[in-house]
Amino acid sequence: EMAPDLLVAMLNRHFESLVRVVFRHQGMVDGFRGDRLMALWGVPLPHDDDAQRAVAAAMEMHQTVENLNVIRDEVDEPTFEMGIGLASGNVLAAAMGSSRTQRYSILGDPATRAEAVCASARAGQLMIDEETRQAVRKDFSAEESRAIEQPGGIVRCFEVLGKSEARPERPWSYLG
């Protein structure tokens, strides 16, 4: 119902805020697909905590959208809802395309899985696949949510609930 130029301006402001979050967590923006943002961690240089960085960025993105929605609501602009999906795994990362146009991007099952996990996320949800869950289990609480079917098989999805409460492995060791 919005004029196209107003919608594009609003989306660009929205993406500007989300891209800042991606960069703050040392991710890379792969691209924009309509109203979607595809971000990557671990390329071109991997870190031991790329999954943690991605989950932390996703949580911050949700908070950013909530904060922006307060402002949008005050000026009678439509608010945004966003579901986020993450998947982990080995991918091929390279400059791909033709001799006339190339773009650095990724190929592989984890990219396809990430899109499927994202599509299953409802507004306000942060969904992760099982491999991401294993990588972040010490840092973030998550509960199994649903399974989705893909051509390669079933993907178990987990909803991230927040940061894990840090508990010492042996609590009596600091009691003296």
How much is the pLDDT for 166?
A: 52
Mean per-residue pLDDT of the chain: 90
How much is the pLDDT for 71?
A: 93
Query: Which residue, 68, 162, 83, 76, is CA-closest to 115?
Result: 83
Q: Which residues have CB under 8 Å from 35's CB, separation 6+?
A: 11
Q: Is the pLDDT of residue 16 over 90?
A: yes
Sign of the alpha-carbon torsion through 143, 84, 87, 167: negative
How much is the pLDDT for 168?
A: 46
Q: Is the pLDDT of residue 174 over 80?
A: no
Task: Tell me the pLDDT tens digit for each residue of 131-144.
Answer: 999 999 999 999 99
Mean pLDDT throughout 150-156? 86
Band the pLDDT of 170: cuts 50, 70, 90. very low
Q: Is the pLDDT of residue 151 over 90?
A: no
Query: 């594009």: which residue's tokens?
Result: 8
Q: Model pTM?
A: 0.87
Are 83 and 48 contacting, i.e. CB atoms less than 8 angstroms apart? no
Are 158 and 128 contacting, i.e. CB atoms less than 8 angstroms apart? yes
Band the pLDDT of 35: cuts 50, 70, 90. confident
% the chain with pLDDT above 90: 74
Band the pLDDT of 152: cuts 50, 70, 90. confident
Distance CA 69, CA 118 (A): 21
Task: Tell me the pLDDT tens digit for each residue of 69-117.
Answer: 999 999 988 899 999 999 999 999 999 999 999 998 899 999 999 999 9
